[in-house]
Amino acid sequence: MHTRLPAYVRGRKGVVHTYNGPEILADASAAGDIRKEPLYTVRFEAAALWPEAIGRRAAVYLDLWESYLESA
> What does the alpha-carbon distance between residue 16 and residue 69 come to, in Å, rounded to a whole number?
10
The pLDDT value given to residue 34: 87
**Given this model, what pLDDT does residue 1 score?**
45
Give pTM, 2 decimals: 0.86
Helix (H, G, I), strand (E, B) or coil at 65: strand
The dihedrals phi and psi of 26, each to the nearest 5 degrees, come to: -60, -35
Per-residue pLDDT of the chain (72 residues; tens, 9 = 90+): 457 889 999 999 999 999 999 999 887 777 788 889 999 999 999 999 999 999 999 999 999 999 999 987
Query: What pLDDT is recorded for position 71?
Result: 85
Residue 45, helix vs strand vs coil: strand
Q: How far apart are CA 47 and CA 56, in angstroms?
A: 7
- Give me the pLDDT at residue 2, please: 52
